[in-house]
Chains A and B, each alone.
Chain A
Amino acid sequence: MSEDMEQSDLERGLRSALRAVDPGEGFAPRVLARIAVEPAQVERPARAGAMVSWLAFGLAASVVLAVLLAHEWQVRRLEQGREARRQLIEALRVTDEKLDLTYRVVNSREGAATAEHSGA
Chain B
Amino acid sequence: MAVLFSGWRWLAGPLVALAASSALAAPAAMLNLPDFDALAAKATETVNISLDTSLLALAASFLDSSDPDDAATKELIAGLKGIYVRSYTFGQDFAYPAAQVDLVRKQLAPPAWQRLVEVNSTKDHTHVQIYVAADRGVANGLAIIASEPREFTIVNIVGSIDLAKLHRLEGKFGIPKLDLPDSKDGKDGPKDGGKHDR
Contact = CB atoms under 8 A, between A and B. Distances in A.
A80 to B, nearest CB: 7
Which of B60, B62, B124 is most buried by chain A, counting CB atoms within 10 A of its CB?
B62
Interface string A19-45: 000000000000000000000000000
Interface stretch (B27-35, B36-44, B95-103, B127-135): B127-135
A120 B21 contact: yes
A94 interface: yes
| Chain B contact surface mostly | mixed
B93 interface: no
B105 interface: no
Interface string A99-110: 111111111111
Report which residue of A104, A106, A117, A119 has the largest number of chain B beta carbons within 10 angstroms of its beta carbon.
Answer: A104
Contacts of B176: 93
Contacts of B146: 98, 101-102
A88 B87 CA distance: 14
A71 interface: no
Interface size, A (range): 35 or more
A106 B144 contact: no
A120 B175 contact: no
A87 B51 contact: yes
A67 to B, nearest CB: 24
Contacts, number: 178
B10 A115 contact: yes
Chain B interface size, under 10 / 10 to 19 / 20 to 34 / 35 or more = 35 or more
Contact of A112 (B77, B84, B119, B157): B119
Nearest to B116: A118
B7 to A, nearest CB: 6
Nearest to B155: A95
A18 to B, nearest CB: 45
B171 to A, nearest CB: 10
Contacts of A72: none
Is the contact region of chain A dominated by helix, strand, or loop, or is it mixed? helix
A17 interface: no
B71 to A, nearest CB: 14
Interface of B: 7-8, 10-11, 13-14, 17-18, 21, 47, 49, 51, 55-56, 58-63, 73, 76-77, 83-85, 87, 114-124, 126, 128, 130, 132, 134, 137-139, 144, 146, 148, 153, 155, 157, 163, 166-167, 169-170, 173-176, 178, 180-181, 183-184, 186, 188-189, 192, 194
Given A84-B55, A90-B194, A99-B167, 9 more contacts: A87-B49, A88-B59, A88-B83, A92-B166, A98-B153, A102-B117, A103-B11, A118-B114, A120-B14
13 contacts: A87-B49, A88-B56, A90-B47, A91-B84, A96-B169, A99-B166, A102-B130, A103-B8, A103-B11, A106-B119, A113-B118, A118-B132, A120-B14
6 nearest interchain CB pairs? A120-B139, A84-B59, A88-B59, A108-B186, A81-B62, A105-B119
